[in-house]
Every structure is written in C-alpha cells, then in structure tokens.
Structure 1
Amino acid sequence: MWRMARRDAIDLVGASGLVVFSTLLAANQVVIKLTNGGIGPIFGAGLRSVLALCVLGLWVWFAGRRITGLRAAFWPGLMLGGFFTIEFVMLFLALDLTTVSRASILFYSMPVWLAVVAHFALPNERLSARRVVGLGLAMAGVTWALADPQSLGAGDLRGDLLALGAAFAWMGIALAVRLTRVSKLTAETQLFFQLAVSALALIAVAPLFGPLLRDPTWLHWAGLGFQATFVASLGFLFWLGLMAIYPASDIAAFSFLSPVLAVGMGWLLLDEPVGPGFAGALTLVAVGIVLINLRRKTPAGAA
C-alpha cells in the first residue's frame, strides 16, 4: 500500500489532494439532487451505503487491512452510525426540496456550530478572539444567504432546515469520534459502523418516504455508483489518509472550498440563481470558516 511520511505542513501534493476531495464533495451535492430524480431520496441513500459497504470490503481485502474492535466499541459505534443515518436522511431530503446552493451553504456551516460546542465540550478548543470573529462572519453569511430574495424564491424553507439539521448530525459524528471509544478504531472500522448501520436503517425506513423508485434511468444508477464509490467509501478513506499525513488544522482550513465549489456547480450545472447578494453571503461564510479553522503554529519543543 502506498504511504507517505508525516508532514508538518501542507505541501503541493496535499493541497492538490484537498482541492480534488473538496471538488468531489461539491459535485456530490449536484449528483445527489440529480439522482433523487429517479430514485427515492432515502432509498437512494440506503443503496449508497450498501454499495459503499461492498467497496469498503473490497478495499479491506485488497489493501490487507482489518476491521477490528467492533465488540469493544459496539455502543459508541452504533451511536456513530445513528448520527450518520440521520445526517443523510436530512441531507438527501434537503436536496430533494431546496437548491444545491442553499443546502450546501447550510450543510457546510458545520465547522461553525462545532466550534461553539467544542468550546464547552473539548479540551484545547477554546474560542479565541480570531475564532469569535470567524463565527460572527460565518453566522452573518448564513443568515444573509437564507434571506437572499433571489435565492429564496428558488429554494424551500423545509429543505433549508433539513440541510441545517444534517450539519448538526455531522457535528455529532465529529464529537462522537473525539469523545468516545470510536476514536481508538481504525478508519476502516469507523467507516464500517457508519455504513452498516445506515444501510440497514435507511433501507428499513425508506418506504415511509414515498415511492422507492421514480422511473430511474442509467444516469440515475450511474450517479448512485459515483456516490458509493468515489465519495462514501474511497473518498472518505482518501481524506482519512490525508489526515494521517498532514496536520488536521491545515486540512480543516481547506473546508471552505466545498461550499464555494458546490454553489458554483449549482449555478453552472443546474442554473440555480446566485446573485451578488448570495455570493457576498458565501464569501462571509468561507472567510469565517477559514478563521475558525486556522491554528497558531506551536514552536518546536513547546508544550
């Protein structure tokens, strides 16, 4: 298996990888919306988890990895999978109702809410003056985006609220990984819990959300395959691989790219309205996320 030595800062290879990953995440929002046109949102999310679980199994076998610690972290693992399930119930329904642009700016506001909760729940995550400014800018941007009249006319408040709920569920995943025994598990085992629990739960509840199929074509099935292979399984493992090489704070600073790219793709590919007001709101959110995620470098040898 290909490996790289641990680095102290992002280099060109790491930056290129993060740009590619952010582009994948942004494209995934568009693909979900398009796939929803032929496959019921919750059924599609469940099928995605089933297929991604198969891809994960192939990866574990090919790379000689192991899925271990299932019994030791069973209950925290179920909680992790529960948050993952809730996240994608809300996100897939959100993208069925509102625009990619509005859903993305709300969904990728997760670092904003995580920073607030982490201030009280996590050691060494106190809010500095710079991070408070970032929070203020990002929250102002989210509020501005929701109120933008041009975008509001194309969106749906129900979808907007669901996208925000998905961001909170994503925050729950981040906290579970930091605060429970899940943190001791390998990346493959963490992903197994999320995919296995969500595959069972999403398929089970899918009939409650309307028809499972909406006259799908090969394009809808291809979109589902893209999500399962390049985002929900290999994409996630690729991101965790970057986390093992580069500082987490440097990687987090790139998180502003996904909402920016998603809004751009929504405008370019789906003809969604993105006027000057919405673009200004997006800028505030992006700058705020960068300020929240920046970390002051610690001198070598400092405690």
Structure 2
Amino acid sequence: MPPRPHLDRFAMSLMVLLCAVWGLQQVAIKLANAGISPIWQAGLRSIGATLMVWAWASLRGVRLWSADGTLAPGLVAGLLFAFEFALIFWALEFTNASRGVIFLYMAPFFVAIGAVWLLPHEPMRRAQWVGMALAFAGVVLLFGENLLQPMGRAWVGDLMMVVAAILWAATTLTVKVSPLVRAPVEKTLLYQLGVSAVVLPLLSLAFGEPGVFAPTPAVWASLAFQTVAVAGASYLAWFWLISQYPPTRLSSFSFLTPVMGVLAGGILLGEALTPAVFAALALVGSGIWTANRTVPAAPPNRR
C-alpha cells in the first residue's frame, strides 16, 4: 500500500494516544530517577524492550535476518537513537527539564527542514509551517518563563537538547528515506533498541553512574511502564506511522507530548495545573489543526 498523503482519523487518534503515553513517560522517568541513574535507566529500558519486541516478532513470524539492505541505515538509526537519549539525560545535569523541553521540541522543525531536500514528494505547505509555529508557541507559553531565569551553565544543557532534537529528526528522516521504510516495523525498531541497549549502558559506566541505587516497587513499575508501553508498544506504532504517513504531518502532533506530561504530573503527582497549561493546550491544538487541514487536491498536470 503506498504511503497516504494526509493523516486520516485513525492516524490522528493514534498520535494523540501516543503523545499521552509519551507524556506519562515523563512522570515515569521522574519516579524511576529516585532509584535508578538516568542513562542506566534508559539502557535497562532498551534491553527489556529489545527482548520484548524480539519475542513479539518471533511469535508473528517476522523475518528479521533477511538481506534487505537495512543493515547500514539500521545501525545509523540505532546510533542516532542511542545518542539522542544519552544527550537528553545528560543535558539534565546542566539545565532543568521544563527549560530543556523547549529546545528538544524544535525537532519537528528540523524534520520539516530536512524533508525539503530529502522528501521533495512531501512538500510543506504554508499552513503546516504556521501550524507548527502555533504549536511551538504553546510549548513556549507553558515553559517559557524558565528561559528568563539566570543561565549559569544551563546553556550547555540547552545546546545538548538542540543536538538531541537534531538527532531525533535525523532518526525519523533516516527511517523514511532508506530501505527501513519498507522493512517490518519490528525490525526497524529492533535496530534502535538493540544498538541503544549496548551503547547506553557503556555510556552510563563511562560517566560513573551508580546504576540501581534505591530499588522500590514504584521504581520498578515505572521502569516496566517505560519498557513495555513506551519503548515497546508505542515505538512500534510510531515507526509504523512513519512508514505510512508524511513525517512532517506526524511531527506536528509531538508538541502535545510536553503538555500531556504536565497534565499527567498534575493528575498523578499533584503538581500545579495553571491557566497557562490549558492555554498552551489550546495553542497546540489549534496549531495541529492548522498544520493538518486537508486542502483540495491540485488538478492533474496536463502537458
């Protein structure tokens, strides 16, 4: 089946669900950080999810070892994926999460810029740029006050988040423009999880992290949620969406994730839900609607 040019209701509904899961992940990471070092936590998540996706693929009879030209781009995507998460967790040593998220969610713009050259058959319309700008404005409204705080060494973490955003976009585009887009989604995801399962623990050891230092049922439950629901099920769904729909349209939905994270923190952790949260949600929603409005198809070119 050829890729769809627009998002249908199923794709939009699935993206909202994925953003909710990724928003909950922010709460899960906070809870797990109380007992597991950040990069080690990410490595454990990748190890567990690799085993889970491998078992799922085996049960479904997915061919993982066929020579389909995916090895080189798969390893590249895996390294991009691993270093993206390493930078995100490392950046939090210098900047706070609510400040860093502004820079991390520049990723959809990097996807759009890269798509101009790499995906000329999926051109960005003016409405898509305007929609993404509105959605990004919602994220800035939610977290922007942190940009006014004294910087100190925060700029180091901010820069790391920008690089992580570039790596996130590069992973998306690598999948879209390479044979990975035609590979089973389980295989595409296993490249990322398998490489990061090796790289992240090594990075954790290199940085001298203590690893698991205060295990509790809540810590293990949070790690299990990240492993099964996030790195396993939600990423399978995400890579399937990338293979079927324009990534620039899908990326506009990612601005929902930090807002969902704040909402989840308010509901589950009792954190304050200010009017800015709901104003940001309205801005992000209007931006997504603007970016994904369908327009009448252009008449065929009759030369």
Distance 1:228 1:281 in 2: 29
Q: Which among 78, 91, 107 is matched to residue 75 of structure 2?
A: 78
Give structure 1 stretches of 5+ with no counterpart. 1-5
Conserved in 2, the CA contact under 8 Å of 1:112 and 1:292? no
Task: Specify the code of the residue in structure 1 equivalent to 2:25.
Answer: N
Say whether 1:90 aligns with 2:84: no
Aligned to 1:196: 194
Pick from 163, 168, 171 the counterpart of residue 170 of structure 1: 168
SS at match of 2:26: helix
Per the alignment, residue 128 of structure 2 pairs with 131
Q: What's the counterpart of residue 203 of structure 2?
A: 205
Deviation sequence 1:36-71 (CA, Å, 0-9, x none): 221111111111111001101111122222214467
Counterpart of 1:218 in structure 2 is 217
Which residue in the other structure is 1:3 paired with?
none
TM-score, scaled to structure 2:
0.79
Q: Residue 265 of structure 1 aligns with which residue?
A: 264
Aligned residues of 2:107 and 2:168 also touching (Cα < 8 A):
yes
Distance in 2, Cα, partners of 1:65 & 1:161: 40
Unaligned 5+ residue runs, structure 2?
none
Residues 234-254 of structure 1: CA deviation (Å, up to 9, x unaligned): 222234455677776775554
Paired AA for residue 113 in structure 1:
F
Please report how far the alpha carbon of residue 113 of structure 1 lies from its aligned counterpart in structure 2 after TM superposition.
2.5
How far did 1:258 drift?
2.0
- CA distance, structure 1, for counterparts of residue 187 and residue 252 of structure 2: 26
Which deviates more from structure 2 when the two are superposed, residues 61-70 or residues 169-178?
A: 61-70
Separation of aligned partners in 2, 1:132 and 1:25: 24
Cα deviation, 1:219-272, whole Å, max 9, x if unaligned, reads 111211111111111222234455677776775554443232112223444455
Q: Aligned equivalents of 2:242 and 2:118: distance in 1?
A: 22
Whichever residue aligns with residue 186 of structure 1, its letter is P
What code does the residue aligned with 1:218 have? P
Checking the alignment, whether the CA contact within 8 Å between 1:99 and 1:272 is kept in structure 2 is: no
Judge conservation of contact 1:118–1:126 (CA < 8 Å) in 2. yes
Distance, in Å, in 1 between the alignment partners of 2:99 and 2:271 is 10
Deviation at 1:173, TM superposition (A): 0.4
- Would you say how many aligned residue pairs link Structure 1 and Structure 2? 297
Preserved contact between residue 249 and residue 293 of structure 1 (Cα < 8 Å): no
Return closer, same or farther for 1:29/1:160 CA change in 2, 3 Å cut-off: farther
Distance 2:179 2:44 in 1: 28
The correspondence of residues 148-163 of structure 1 with structure 2, limited to 5 A, is 148=145, 159-163=157-161
Number of the residue aligned with 1:20 = 17
In the alignment, the residues of structure 1 paired with residue 231 and residue 245 of structure 2 have an alpha-carbon distance, to the nearest angstrom, of 21
TM-score normalised over the length of structure 1: 0.79
Deviates more, 1:156-165 or 1:55-64: 156-165
Q: Alpha-carbon deviations, 1:78-136, whole Å to 9, x = none? A: 11001100111123345676655444454344212321332244313444332343354
Look up the SS of the partner of 2:295 in the other structure: coil
Match of 2:44 in 1: 47
Determine the C-alpha separation between the residues in 2 that align with 1:192 and 1:163: 24
Partner of 2:60: 63
Q: Give the residue type in structure 1 aligned to 2:235.
A: F
Asked if 2 retains the 8 angstrom alpha-carbon contact of 1:7 and 1:247, the reply is: yes
Partners of 2:55 and 2:300 lie apart in 1 by 42
Structure 1 distance, partners of 2:156, 2:270, is: 21
Letter in 2 for 1:262: G
Deviation at 1:165, TM superposition (A): 3.2
Counterpart residue number, 1:236: 235
Confirm or deny: 8 A CA contact 1:29 1:104 kept in the other structure.
no
Offset at residue 213 of structure 1 (A): 2.2
Offset of residue 166 of structure 1: 2.5
Distance 1:217-1:202 versus aligned 2 partners, 3 A rule: same
Go from structure 1 to structure 2 and tell me whether the alpha carbon gap of 1:79 and 1:282 turns closer, same or farther (over 3 Å shift).
same
